[in-house]
A and B are shown apart, each in its own frame.
Chain A
Amino acid sequence: MIKQWLPKAVSRVKGADSTALPAIGGAIPETMSYPWRRLAVGLAAVAVIGMLAATQGSVDIPPLTVFKMVVAKVPLVSVAESWPDSWDTILWRLRMPRIVLAGIVGGALALSGATYQALFRNPLAGPSLIGATAGAGLGATFVLVTGVPLYFKDTSLVPIAAFAGSIAAVMGAYTIARRAEGMSLITLILAGVAISSAAGALTSLLMIRSDPDLRPVLSWLLGGFGSAQWKHSVLVLPYIVPSLLVVLFYGRVLNVMQLDEDHARQLGVNVERTKLVLIIAATLSTAAAVSFTGPIGFVGLIAPHAVRLTWGNDYRSLVPMAAIVGAGFLILADLAARTVASPAELPVGVVTALCGAPFFLYLLRRREPITA
């Protein structure tokens, strides 16, 4: 028996088309079932990693206590409070906002990396490929160095400018690549690369022409979670969750898109609409992820590949699994960033590259060649 992957929302009249084909002999392959268990284990692992990360810092909190403190927050559950009040502040005001934001950003970057890789059928694709991060960098730098007010009332304008710059860069590349007969993905990549270079050059120019104190800009451009707050997570989730759902539900079509475009079209895929929808989803997700934390390299590139090399190419399971791996990886990277050289903090991008690159090289050596 084959397991149904998902309960179907709509039951459709079928059957007439198969009567002319011969009966099946032999068993239907077992592996048709959706890997729910793997995703559940992955999510649980991320939760455990998050809690363990919360034990580390200037004050060490025992893992069991962290667990109790988390459980105590669950409604209707009462736990005897056997910890000092200051630990509550440390855990819920300092560490947890940071860990949760790192998880969300890691998941979002892996999601958009996986989507771009699938869409462009290119293993080198990552969140920054078509200009999203360079645009964000230019937007943030513009606000930070040009004397534009940093705040409007109580709202910091930096993430808003970063988000807008990110979207604008991708829209620019998209406008250039779009033709009446459809959009060329190769042109989109090339336009994205050109726009990224231009945005990077303008960012450098702004920095050189500005006030000598470049530390805020540099710290944004290197990326990090040092200033993470709960509200950041709350603000980015409305962009990331819908993007994740869209890409998740487009998983089957993404698989068909791995054939060449004409072939996918012959199989009834609306190729142009699919490209547009997925570019919007991946770009929104990237823009939201980098707006508060700055661009963080490598997560979006390697998390999808790690999943692909370990569990195969089916985008229905690859996309959510890549998001889970990206979340866990970035939580660990941020943990290293804030503890290894404590009390100083390393840029998290340095950690992701230093840990991610050797791991990635190991996967490349171990498994069959990457194809995306």
Chain B
Amino acid sequence: MIITEGLRFSYGETPILDGLDLRVDRGEIVGIVGPNGAGKTTLLKLLSGVMHPTGGRVVVDGKDLNSTGDAERARLVSVVPQNPQLPAGYRALDVVLMGRNPHLRIFEWEGAHDVEVAARAMRLTDVWDMADRPISSLSGGERQRTVLAMALAQASPVMLLDEPTTNLDLAHQVGIMDLVRGLLPDRLDCAVVAMHDLTLAAQYCDRLVMLSEGKSYADGPPLEVLTEENILAVYGASVFVIAHPQSGTPVVLPASGVGNGVLSTSPLGLIGAESPHQRSEASRGS
């Protein structure tokens, strides 16, 4: 589990995170949502310990990340970065084996056990068949699952995922999120996912934390966090929130044509201002 207390971070005078208290319990997937610049990426970097907070602290499984060594930190928290640069010239298995780094000393090389852990992780994310292929020959979805396998090979109790579904098509988005969901609670204690796609976040996260200007604006079950009012206040965008026909989780639909924060009335009042037919005519003409 992760606990942050009064987490602050600033670049010079500009505060990015301004006193954030967060708690992620065992068995939970927590989604971090919020507009660009709200501090999602910074928060993940602080949670993974690669950056140190300017105030407050991050505690993972009872250990303060400010005072843990590099390898120990990586044994506590694994990360699936947003846009990993996978070096060409390596096979998928070589890349997944890099995930074993925190379990090895500097001069130590991977042994049979590490290959086995990597192979199991690749089996779980369904890329084992590509173990021998050059990483550059894999598709976007396969690469993302390889990166997930690399994070799994770290065998850390906590996993952080930064926009794991961007650049993936619909089926692969769902595939990745199903995979992550399936890791809990046996293979992973808890996960924190930064996401732009609010609907997908609502579908897969037990709890959402909506960041606004470095603070937690709302924190709770998706149904409570993703309201039309909250989204308008934090994103400045008018949306309709309806219930998912299968799960009942909130589905966020942008109110099109009205744009970004200039709206003062309820989006419901705007229906009919422009019919779908007219809109498609207009877009065809442009």
Contact = CB atoms under 8 A, between A and B. Distances in A.
A binds B: yes
Interface in A21-63: 21-26, 28-29, 31-32
A186 interface: no
B86 A259 contact: yes
B89 A269 contact: no
Top 5 closest pairs, chain A to chain B, by CB: A268-B74, A313-B89, A21-B120, A268-B102, A17-B155
B132 A267 contact: no
B84 interface: yes
Interface of B: 45, 48, 50, 70-75, 77-79, 81, 84-91, 93-94, 98-99, 101-113, 115-117, 119-121, 123-124, 128-129, 131-132, 152, 154-155, 186-187
A2 to B, nearest CB: 5
A10 B105 contact: yes
A265 B70 contact: yes
Interface stretch (A92-100, A200-208, A231-239, A246-254): A246-254
Given A20-B186, A22-B120, A259-B85, A32 B115 contact: yes
Contacts of A268: 70-75, 101-102
Q: Output the residue of B71, B93, B101, B152 with the most chain A CB within 10 A.
A: B101
B112 A22 contact: no
Using C-beta atoms within 8 Å of the partner chain, give the interface range for chain A. Answer: 35 or more
A159 to B, nearest CB: 32
B128 A266 contact: no
A178 interface: no
Contacts, number: 133
Contact of A262 (B50, B73, B104): B50
B122 to A, nearest CB: 8
B123 A263 contact: no
A18 B117 contact: yes
Contacts of A2: 112, 115
A266 B113 contact: no
A68 interface: no
A358 interface: no
A256 interface: yes
A256 B113 CA distance: 19
A8 B104 CA distance: 11
Contact of B132 (A18, A31, A371): A31
A371 B99 contact: no
Nearest to B119: A24
A18 B121 CA distance: 9
A312 B109 contact: no
Interface string A86-128: 0000000000000000000000000000000000010000000
Contacts of B152: 21
A4 interface: yes
21 contacts: A10-B105, A20-B187, A21-B117, A21-B121, A23-B123, A24-B116, A28-B119, A29-B91, A29-B131, A252-B109, A252-B110, A256-B101, A262-B50, A263-B84, A266-B48, A266-B79, A267-B98, A267-B99, A267-B154, A268-B75, A313-B88
Contacts of A8: 108, 111
A259 B98 contact: yes
B9 to A, nearest CB: 13
Contacts of A255: 87, 90, 94, 98
A4 B81 contact: no
Given A256-B98, A263-B85, A21 B187 contact: yes
B102 A5 contact: no
Contacts of B85: 259-260, 263
Contacts of A250: 106-107
Contact of B90 (A4, A265, A267, A313): A313
